[in-house]
Structure 1
């Protein structure tokens, strides 16, 4: 595991629960070169006095150098943790998904709010519809297989599609990809309700067709 040491006096944000670590706050990063250069590698974050602060996903290519997974010293970043958080997020959003118009895009996972920094997932059409996912940070990108498996199990929806935010993923040093991760790809044109209006939309890209 990598070890990120925070500059003296720069740990205040982490101690108050800020989940983002910027390059200017980092004194040094210890670990094998291949781990330091691999976006999303899990790192232990410590203070200048070697006090445990967090475990985070490190990305030297990003303007946000590390995104915190957990502030708990006794919580490992592993498959079990990722699955727990996906299931908890799906449970939290279940009522909103069930009660929403089936033609609306409903948030299922909302990044840091659900302890999955950089991951956005929206539901369209309920259980029989589509989950549109955006892996906007290197940490969740590394765990995509586990995340997709957990989404399938927690929601019962068989179709998961990845929609890249091109600007964000390039900023993270990640490839820009649009593809089905499970099941079928959504049709190119669906009617989507937003602000009480229906508009023909390509939910694979977010493009709204002109009327």
Structure 2
């Protein structure tokens, strides 16, 4: 596993709850070259005094060099953690989702707020509709399969689609990989309620058609 050593004095933001570690705050990264070059590889973050600070997803290709998974030394980064966090995010918003307009795009998973840095998931049409996911960071991209499995189990929705923000993924050193991850792909044109109005939209890209 990679070990990231933070420069002296640069750990203050991390200890205050900042989930991002910039390259300028890093003294060195120890580990195998193939791990250092793999976007999203799990790393232990330690202080200049070699004290444990966090576990994070490291990405040498990103301006945000590391995104924190946990501040707990005893919490492994594994399938079970991804499942727990997806389930918690869905449960947290479950009541609001059930009350929401099924034709609206409902934000179901909100990245760092849910302990899943870089992951955005929108729901459209409830259980019979679609989940649209954006994996905007190397860490969650590596855990794509368990994340999708957890979403299917937690929501009962059968259709999961990956939407790609080309610029964000390029900045993370990630390929552009839009497409269905489970079930069917959304149609290119759906009516989506936006700011109280129904507008024709391609939820695969966010493109709104002229009316």
2:75 is matched with 75
> Who is 2:117 aligned against?
117
The answer for the alignment partner of 1:2 in structure 2 is 2
| Offset of residue 141 of structure 1 | 0.0
User: Partner residue of 1:36?
Assistant: 36
TM-score by length of 2: 0.99
Once superposed, what is the RMSD of the aligned Cα atoms? 0.4
Q: Which runs of 4+ in 1 moved over 3 A?
A: none
**Pairing of 1:84-163 with structure 2 (within 5 A):** 84-163=84-163
Structure 2 SS opposite 1:53: strand
**TM-score if structure 1 supplies the norm length?**
0.99
1:25 counterpart = 2:25: yes
Superimposed CA distance per residue, residues 143-165 of structure 1 (whole angstroms, 9 cap, x where no aligned partner):
00000000000000000000001
> What residue in structure 2 maps to residue 203 of structure 1?
203
Between the two proteins, the alignment pairs up a number of residues equal to 211
Q: Confirm whether residue 60 of structure 1 aligns to residue 49 of structure 2.
A: no
Structure 1 unmatched ranges of 5 or more: none
How far apart are the structure 1 equivalents of 2:26 and 2:191?
47
Task: Return the alpha-carbon distance in structure 2 between the equivalents of residues 159 and 2 of structure 1.
Answer: 35
Q: CA deviation at 1:210?
A: 0.1
